[in-house]
Structure 1
Amino acid sequence: MLIIPEIETVVILPPRTGTGSLYRTVLAEYPKAFMPYRHMEADGVPFGYDRWRRVGVLRHPESRMWSLYNYLKTFGIEHAVRPEYDEHNRIQRAQVEGRTFEEWLVDNQVIFTSQHDQTGGGGFHPQYACKHPYAENRKSQFYYLRPDLGTEIVPYSPDASAIGARLGLEVPRSTNVVAPGEPPLLGLLGRDHMTKFHRWDFEACDSLSIPLA
């Protein structure tokens, strides 16, 4: 979640819909912008700011799940060493170890983003707080975006150009992002799972002509 006082706008970014380039561009143009939470839902906008315009990014659900699955394979490895997060990072990577995409999609129960420590240490992490802490493979983007609260839906684009334009920005193209390609074809279990938990996502993407990306 990005809050941008200069244009009185709150940006809702479900996991795997934002980019580092977008964040840097926002801060360069709007230096008062800040990120109180990483992935808070639209019904969790802090008091006072909830009167401002909400804008949220919607990604094709299969692409988002495939992106998250691949991201988890190296979760916490490619960033600066922070020993206090080693166990948390290991738990996140373990979601996908030895599992195909479809197996992870159907069976995973580990929550990706939550204020509650999942290592048994009793810690609390407010920057990762969310109001609906479900496993991401079972969490529709409806929970994040809440169009019924007036959130403007912006189609996901890999270069963040669509959300950038909505914010009055031109986001520089990133040169170090490697896309994982299209997700593999799902079997019956995977298709049933996606239909059950991500029905709204598919319908919203169809209405906005959002492709696999």
Structure 2
Amino acid sequence: MNSANNDYGLWSLVLLNSVIFIGFAYSFFKPSTPRDWRSFGAYSAFIVALFAEMYGFPLTIFLLSGWLGAKFPGVNLFGHDAGHLWWLFTGQHGNPHAGVLHILSFVAIFVGFILLSKAWHVLYHAQRRHELAATGPYRSIRHPQYVAFVLIMFGFLLQWPTLLTLAMFPVLVLMYVRLAISEEHDSEREFGEAWCAYSAETPRFIPAWGGGRHRHA
């Protein structure tokens, strides 16, 4: 697939990027429980699926090639720039890496990794002391680690959407919501009234900026 008109088939880049982004997440998250491994595994599957299409085989482009070829005649669909589908669909020209969505995607990914790192640091020390994690990002939301994974995946979707990752994203978000609720039941059993007071004041996923802390979203 590595012809002058084809920028795919770069499986070494699939492996390299998958290792980098999964390794980053592992170093920040350090899964230890079965629940941790489920959330980390789901993220890892998303990353592998993403980079397999980004550099390996462009399944989405292949499946949509008839429609895309008719709608965008003259565009090299198997050139790397065409894989930035939001850029292609909106009729943009030039380098897609300089586009607003691409820049926003890097912001979302960066914020996600920073949040994941800060959340793990607080959670690690809280677990060692057998205390409720309620400082750092846990002061604003109850599940910053899951929000971080969603931010990272959403960031990647902004720059390189595929049929598979678009289908995976809502499923994984729902999985993280269910994991969060399950985690809350365990925390309530372990910390009792302290957890109830904390959860009553702290939103689950969305910070209550400017609206008080009594939210549960």
Shorter-chain TM range is: under 0.3
Select the structure that is richer in strand: 1
Query: Higher Cα Rg: structure 1 or 2?
Result: 2
Select the structure that is richer in helix: 2
| Bigger RCO (CA 8 Å, 6+ sep) | 1
Q: What TM-score does the superposition give when structure 2 sets the normalisation length?
A: 0.28
